Structure formats: structure tokens, C-alpha cells
Structure 1
Amino acid sequence: MKKIIPGLAVICSVFLSFSAGAQEKTVKLTLEDALKIALSENVSVKVADMEIERSEYAKKGTYSSLFPQINASGSYQRTIKKQVMYMGGGDDEEGGGGMASMFAGIFDPIYYYINGIMQETGVVIPPYVPPVVEQESSSDDGIAVGRLNTYNFGVSASMPLVNAQLWQSLKISGQSVDLAVEKARSSRLEMVTQVKQAFYAALLAKEALGVYGSVYDNAVENFNKTESRYKVQKASELEYTRAKTAVASAIPNVYNAEGSVILALWQLKAVMGVDLDMDVDIVGSLGDYADTMFRDIHENEDFTLDYNSTMRQLAIQAEQLASTIRMQKYAYLPTLSATFSYSMNAMTNDFKFSEYKWTPYSFVGLSLSIPIFSGGKRYHDIKQSKVQLAELDLQRVNTERQLKIAIRQYLNTMETNMKSYSSSEEAVKLAEKAYDITAKSYNVGKSTLTDLNDSQLQLTQARLAQSQAVYNFMVAKASLEQMIGKDFVADNR
């Protein structure tokens, strides 16, 4: 046994020297410090803030629909085969006469007038004889029209003048931003709860380490006394062996408690969003929160769900659905928009750009669209949204009921642990007194080592129960504050 105690002493001395060397780099954190760091470093909070920014951009994109939409265009077309135009059939075709038969009726009165003049005056007017032109093809071949190169450049603009659906969609975009803000607030509340619970868990682990360390110190002290008595034959070998066993049994508990402290600090650093290799330590104890337990439980008796994030999100979603239904009803209304277009055209057979003749073309107009029939789509869209709104209302009622039950459970947990703390506080005082009496009796030989170990066990259980009661109370309080929407940021402004 002499080898066990010096060995542990060496380990502890190395640990203490390492802690002393790293003390300058260790960051001491209070609960408020941990929360402030988490609000700036936690990944969930950063993602929620980015979601708000994304919703703001989406809202601005919707508002851009109110402004004129201006576009420029340009095109070039190369004709491979020109279009052919036919002026009509030949004179001998059935039912035709072509161009000659068409113009014959027009010139008949003129011919009649000229013939009358010739008869009265006796002047002979020779008839017109057209020159003979060698035709390359018959009249049935048609005439090729158009140019080889066609250029078109222009600017067009359109702007809605009357569009009720568009106006309602702007309101829905604003509600989307409100929903993103509330979701970000929910992420902050959840993060604050996680940091608080991790901080309380680290305090509990440190206090458990202190309790088990005290048990080990008492076991070592009792072993030294028993060993001294055993050497002078005032203690039996059984007592000496039990003292050695008590020391050996206390060592694993100390190691396990140290591991629990390290894991609790890792968990705290993880929820804070800092580097896991960062050397941090926490300041305070669970006993610091014991004095305010009675006040805390009575402050939260008259709770309300007005600031509960889940209920507020459901309310915003209900507003969005109501706005969506109105927007779908507005689909029955006409829309009016203004349009403008200006373009320049050029058609040539060559690529002499400086000699091109550009022809402008422009117009301004109004476009009126009146919805008449869509196969019932608009009607069924409205019905679908109304059913969805009814589903959301049922979900809201059920969520409110579940939240009230959860709040009652948290309050009951807080009250139970407050009573447990009061009883354990008295139990710790009695266990300390009993241990002191037993230790003094053991020193004078009136009590056995078994009695002393029993007193130590009762004292250990009482101290752990006291710390556990405060921890359970604070964890339930943190969950309750998240449930009722108590914001750490708003409380510290």
C-alpha cells in the first residue's frame, strides 16, 4: 500500500505542475462570458443570421418586379434560299387571266374614250407595241424577294401598372423575412439553453471531483492513522486491510471524475463554437445558484406563451397562408402593363456597313390581360390553401397544449429539486457532524473503521445529492426559459 500512495502522489504532482505551467494560457469563463462567446462563434447562430440575409435579398428581388424591365436585343440573319413570290397565273389558265385580265377592266374606259376621239378627228393613234424581251423563265417561276443579310438591333421595356397578385406577393416576401428572423431567434434560444446546460454539467463534474477528492483525502488520512496504530499493535490486520482497500477504491472514482470534467469542458467548447484544443476553465459553483432557487421558481409561475418561438413561427406561417389565399383570389382580376419597343433594321446583299440604310421601328402600348377560364385551377388552388390553413390551426392548438404540459413538467421538476436541495442541505450538515464524531471516536478507539467508512459514504452521498439537486433545478430552469422565450440578448442590453 505504501507503493500506491506515493505513486498517486507523483501523478498528482505532475498534474499540478502541468496545470501551473499552463495556467497562464487557461481562459477563465463565467456563464455570461460563455454565452457571449457562443452568440458570436456558434455555427447555428451564424447560419440563422445568413438565412435572414438571404431572405432580405429575396424580398428586394420581389420589389424589383415593380420597376421597368429593360432588355436589349440584337440579331443577324443570313438568307440561304430567298423566298419566291408569285403574282398570279397566265392569261390562258382556267378562271384566270393573270395580271393582263386584272388590268383589262381598268383600262377599258380609257380605250373607249381614245377610240371616240379618233373617230371624230380622224387622227389615227398607233397602238403601243411593247419591246420584245427574251424571258429567261416563264411567269410560273415567280419572283425572288428579300436580301441576303438582315440585321436587327433594339431595346424593349415593360412595366406592370395594375397587378394585384404582384402587390400581394410583396407582402408575403416581407413575412418570409419575419419568419427567418424568428427562426434565428429560436436558434439563439436553443444555443443559449445548450450552453447553460453544458456549463452546469461542467460545474457538477467539478463538484463531483471535489467530493471524490475529499473522499480520497480522508481515506489516505485514515490509512495513515490505521497504519500507525497497526505498527504499535493497537489496530488489527483486518482494519489495516480495510483502510488500504478504502484508499484503493477511492482512486478510480477520482480518475473517473477527472475524465468527466474533461468531457464536460469539451462539450461546453463544442456548443460555444470555439476550438476544442483551447484551454478553458469555468468559474463558479452550483452553490452560487442555490440561493436564488426559491425566487426563480416563483418568477416563472405566471408563464405565457406570447414569446415562445414555436408559437410565433406558427402565427407567421398562418399570416403567410392567409396572404397566399388573397393572392390566389387576385388571380381572377385583370392585369395591365405598359410596353415600349424601339428597333433598327437593315437588309443588304453585301458587307459594306458604312453604306447600310437603317430603318427605325418603334411603338408604345398597353397590354390588358383578363383571366376567363383556367380549367378550375385557380379555384382548386384556393381550396388547397384553405385546407392547409386549417391544418396549421390544428397544429397550433396541439402545439400550445404540448408546450403547456412541458412547462408544467419543468416547474414541477424545479419544485421537486428545490425541496430535495433543502433536505439534502440538512443531510449534509448531519453527515458532516456524524463523520466528525465518528472520526474522533475512531481516533480514541471507540469506533471501528467500518463505522468511519459508513459515515464517509453517507457524507459523500449527501454532498452528491445536494449538487445533483441544484444541477437538475438549473437544467429545468434553462429549458423553461427557452420554452417561454426568455432571450439572453434582450436581457443584457
Structure 2
Amino acid sequence: MKTNILYIVTLLLLIGSSKPLYAQKKMLALKDALEMAKQGNKAIQVQILEEIHAREITNEVKGGLLPSISANAAYSRYFERPIIFLPGSFAGTDKPVQDVAFGGKNTYDVFVTLHQSILAPGIQRQKKVSKINESIQNEKTADLKSQIALLVSTRYLDLLMMNSQLDLLEQSLQRNKKALQDSRSLLAQGRGLKSDTLRSFVAVANLESSVSYLKNNVTVAGIELKRLIGLEDPAEIELSDNLELNIETSQHEFHQVDAALAIAEKNRKDLSIQELTIALQQKNMKVIQAELLPQLSLIGQYQLQAQADNFKFGQYALPRTSFLGLQLTVPVFNGNRTKSKINQSKIKMRQEEIRLNDLKDEVKTELATLISQWKEAVNQLNIQEKTVQSATLNHQMVDDRFKNSLGSRLELTDAELALTQAKINNLNAIYKIQVLHVKLKHAIGQLSL
């Protein structure tokens, strides 16, 4: 009995002394998110490996200009001696051709060969191709980092916008719950209308639905942001930045399409990639043309041979053979295959040139669209700021009237909803400018991790 009492007392003490556990949250600023994405994003990690792969291809091509040395050894067992055919007079017979068996049944052959390219225009040109391919992969990495920076920034701003909306809606929900309580109280006293109570109830229900929907979206957006930046910490993230207009809305590079396009042509990595692709096709055509040129190589070999019918290795003779020489290869005719490959390369190069022109047109259209949206967003922000001021003043006036029994609760509810909607619209205007600022920076090639 005493033991049971002791257990119960110990349990009560543990329960009383324990503190509630709350889910830990990780504070995250936008600059920190971008830095984490630079290191943790999986797509960037894959692309960096592509850079390394391109460098190894260059090293492989360079190896073609270095000497190639190989050592070989062979053993053969003949069940019948090898045959050669000699004139009969050489073999001591009257036959025109006499087969003569020769050699031992065990044959051994050990040799070392050397090959060194002296004149190899194809390898020299292929080395230039691989260097351009390296540059393309480097530019692709920079372009991917810019795209990831755009995704992370927009996702972060999305979360800021949803959190700000959620704060406004929760504040509005509390005020509308208070209004619903007042309406029910007035209805119970016979001083209110049932329609007013129903309207307040519908407003509260709609706000609760919107709050629940936003909370779910915030959770999903947080998961997506963590994936983008490579954050595997199970802790929930909490944004430390605020959705405030901390950028200059009258930026000159966002006013003229031609000026923005000039900046983009200098900085955008996708344009650089396309230009390098054209250069790559040109070099590939040079590589194909090199197939029509002669090649000169230094070749050599050192060889040891032995033949015998037994395995008495100490009695074997090991004659040596060695040589060093030059080998010249001159293409003569290959069925016009090289000419066809050159024509194919010219077609590919023309295709890439068309793609470059189309990409420039696409960039120009993108810039024109974003600049137009930027100007309209700035205009909308000015309008929404005035609307919030008006809605705030109207809410104060209606609240004063209600407190002095000169207005109805319904009027106050309408004013409160109008003020909340005006604030949300103002947030949307700020959010849109922030997002457009990031997109414009990306469009002119000035956004990266």
C-alpha cells in the first residue's frame, strides 16, 4: 500500500513539474534562405557534378595528345605445329608448293607498344570543343542558381503574404466574433433583428473557413520552401522578414524596355549559353573537317618471343625484336560521309542561331510585360494606400457613431469588413511589387544566390 502511494505521489510530482513542449521553430530570413539554397538545393548539386563531368571530358581529350604505352603477354598451346607453305625446291621436294610444320607447341609472346600523336588536328579541335562545353556547364550552373534564387524569393514572399493575410483575418475574426456575441445579446433582449445575427454568423463562418484554408496553404508553402533550400530540419520555419515595401519603386532600369534589354544581354546566362552553343556547333564542324586532314604518329614496339615443346624455361632462347617509326594516315575517300556530317553540322548551327534570335525576342517580350506590370503595380499601390486611409477613417467614424448609439452594429460590421479588405488589397499591392521586383531582377540577369 505504501509503495502504491509512493508511486502516485512521484507521478503527480512529475506531472506538476513538467513543462508543456512546444514545437520548435527555426527563424529564417530571406538572405539566409538564399544562402542555404546555394549549398543545399539538390538541382544545384546535380549541376555542379555536371561541371565536374565536363572537366573530366576535357582531361580525357587532352589525354589523346599524350603518349600511349601498353604491355601485352600471350601464351598459346598448339596441338599440331603451325604450318607454312614454301616452294618445293626450298623444302627439298618436287612439289610446286610444300607445307612445312614449324615452331614449338608452346609459344610465348611479350611486347610493349608505344603510340604518340604528332600531328592530330582532330584531337586539337576536340579539345577546344570540350573547353566550350565546360563554359556552357558553368553558365548553366549560374543560370540554375538564378532560377533557384527566383523560386526561393517568390516562395518566401508568398509565405510572407499568406502570414500577413492570416494575421489580418484572425484579427477580423476576433472582432466579428465579438460582433456576433453582441448581436445574439441584442436579439435575446428583443433589441436586435434575427437577420443581423445571421449575417454576423455567416461572416464569422466565412472568416473561419478562410483562416483554415490559409493555415493549410502556409504549411504546404513552408514544406516547399524547405525542399528548395535543402533544409531537412523537421522544425517548423518562421520567417523573420516582414512584408514591407523596402525597395525604391522608381527604378530607372524598370522604365525602358530597350535599356533593360541591354542590361539583360550582358547578364542573362541563358543568352550566354545559347551563344556558346553556337560556338560549340562551329567547333564541332571543325572537328568533322579534321577527318579530311592527314595524321602523323610515332609508333614503336619492343618484343620478346619464345617457342618450345617443353616447359624447361631455363633452356628457352628469348630473341628480341624492337622498332621505332612514323605512321602517316591520309584520308582518301569514305563515301562522302564526312561531307554529309559537315552539312548536318551547318544545319545544327543555323538552328541554334534561330533559337538565339527567338530567345532574344522572348526576353524582350518578358521584359516589356514585367515593366508594364511594374508600372501598374506602383499605380495600384498608390490607390490602395489612399483606400486604406479612407477605410480607416470611415471605420473610426462608424465606431464613434455606434458608441454614441447613432449607428447600428451592422454598419460597424460592414465598415470593419471594408477596412480588412482594404488592408488585404494594400498587402497584395506591396506583395505584387516585391514579386515583380524579384522577377525583373531575374529577367535582367541580376539575381543569383
Which residue in 2 is equivalent to 1:68?
67
Residues 297 and 415 in structure 1, CA contact (< 8 A), matched pair in contact too:
no
Residues 163 and 218 in structure 2, CA contact (< 8 A), matched pair in contact too:
yes
Residues 28 and 280 in structure 1, CA contact (< 8 A), matched pair in contact too:
yes
Q: For 1:445, what is the secondary structure of its paired residue?
A: coil
Which residue in 2 is equivalent to 1:294?
249
Distance 1:432 1:359, change over 3 A: same
Distance 1:438 1:21, change over 3 A: farther
Paired AA for residue 40 in structure 2? E
Matches within 5 A, 1:337-356: 337-356=297-316
Paired AA for residue 77 in structure 1? S
Cα shift at 1:232:
5.4
Which residue in 2 is equivalent to 1:388?
348
Q: Distance in 1 between matches of 2:97 and 2:327?
A: 44
Q: Does 1:474 pair with 2:434? A: yes
Q: Does 1:443 pair with 2:403? A: yes
Unaligned runs of 5+ residues in structure 1 are 1-19, 90-95, 102-137
Q: Deviations over 1:421-455 (max 9, x none)?
A: 11011101111111121122122222223222221
Q: For 1:488, what is the secondary structure of its paired residue?
A: coil
Cα-Cα RMSD: 2.6
Residues 91 and 100 in structure 2, CA contact (< 8 A), matched pair in contact too:
no
Q: Distance in 2 between matches of 1:209 and 1:97?
A: 107
Distance 1:329 1:309, change over 3 A: same
Q: Distance in 2 between matches of 1:233 and 1:163?
A: 103
Paired AA for residue 295 in structure 2? T
Distance 1:88 1:450, change over 3 A: closer
Q: Deviations over 1:136-182 (max 9, x none)?
A: xx999965322111100010010000111111111111111101111
Cα shift at 1:241:
4.4
Residues 29 and 281 in structure 1, CA contact (< 8 A), matched pair in contact too:
yes
Which residue in 2 is equivalent to 1:313?
273
Q: Deviations over 1:356-395 (max 9, x none)?
A: 1101000001001111112212222212111211111111
Cα shift at 1:331:
2.2
Q: For 2:411, what is the secondary structure of its paired residue?
A: helix
Residues 71 and 157 in structure 1, CA contact (< 8 A), matched pair in contact too:
yes
Bigger Rg, structure 1 or 2: 1
Unaligned runs of 5+ residues in structure 2 are 1-19
Q: Distance in 2 between matches of 1:285 and 1:98?
A: 104
Distance 1:185 1:141, change over 3 A: closer
Paired AA for residue 56 in structure 1? R
Paired AA for residue 194 in structure 1? L
Matches within 5 A, 1:394-433: 394-433=354-393
Matches within 5 A, 1:4-23: 21-22=21-22
Q: Distance in 1 between matches of 2:90 and 2:140?
A: 83
Q: Distance in 2 between matches of 1:384 and 1:300?
A: 43
Cα shift at 1:98:
9.4
Cα shift at 1:29:
0.7
Aligned residues: 425
Q: Distance in 1 between matches of 2:127 and 2:284?
A: 11
Which residue in 2 is equivalent to 1:5?
none
Q: Does 1:203 pair with 2:160? A: yes
Which residue in 2 is equivalent to 1:270?
227
Cα shift at 1:34:
0.7
Q: Does 1:193 pair with 2:150? A: yes
Distance 1:21 1:86, change over 3 A: closer
Q: Distance in 2 between matches of 1:484 and 1:156?
A: 57
Q: Distance in 2 between matches of 1:329 and 1:351?
A: 54
Cα shift at 1:279:
1.6
Residues 438 and 447 in structure 2, CA contact (< 8 A), matched pair in contact too:
no
Q: For 1:67, what is the secondary structure of its paired residue?
A: coil
Q: Distance in 2 between matches of 1:85 and 1:229?
A: 124
Residue 369 (structure 1) aligned to one of 329, 333, 342: 329
Structure 1 residues 212-221 or 343-352, which shifts more? Answer: 212-221
Which residue in 2 is equivalent to 1:112?
none
Which residue in 1 is equivalent to 2:9?
none
Residues 293 and 418 in structure 1, CA contact (< 8 A), matched pair in contact too:
no
Cα shift at 1:296:
4.3
Q: Deviations over 1:447-473 (max 9, x none)?
A: 223222221222122111111122222
Q: Distance in 1 between matches of 2:54 and 2:318?
A: 47
Q: For 1:80, what is the secondary structure of its paired residue?
A: coil
Q: Distance in 2 between matches of 1:263 and 1:99?
A: 97
Residue 461 (structure 1) aligned to one of 414, 418, 421: 421
Residues 40 and 230 in structure 2, CA contact (< 8 A), matched pair in contact too:
yes
Q: Distance in 2 between matches of 1:97 and 1:161?
A: 44
Which residue in 1 is equivalent to 2:81?
82
Distance 1:43 1:160, change over 3 A: same
Q: Distance in 1 between matches of 2:69 and 2:192?
A: 103
Cα shift at 1:330:
2.4
Q: For 2:300, what is the secondary structure of its paired residue?
A: strand
Structure 1 residues 170-179 or 250-259, which shifts more? Answer: 250-259
Residues 110 and 305 in structure 2, CA contact (< 8 A), matched pair in contact too:
yes
Q: Distance in 2 between matches of 1:390 and 1:444?
A: 80
Which residue in 2 is equivalent to 1:280?
237
Q: For 1:75, what is the secondary structure of its paired residue?
A: strand
Distance 1:140 1:161, change over 3 A: closer
Which residue in 2 is equivalent to 1:172?
129
Q: Does 1:51 pair with 2:50? A: yes
Residues 285 and 345 in structure 2, CA contact (< 8 A), matched pair in contact too:
yes
Q: Distance in 2 between matches of 1:255 and 1:70?
A: 73
Residues 265 and 280 in structure 1, CA contact (< 8 A), matched pair in contact too:
yes
Residues 243 and 449 in structure 1, CA contact (< 8 A), matched pair in contact too:
no
Residues 45 and 188 in structure 1, CA contact (< 8 A), matched pair in contact too:
yes
Q: For 1:159, what is the secondary structure of its paired residue?
A: strand
Distance 1:261 1:98, change over 3 A: closer
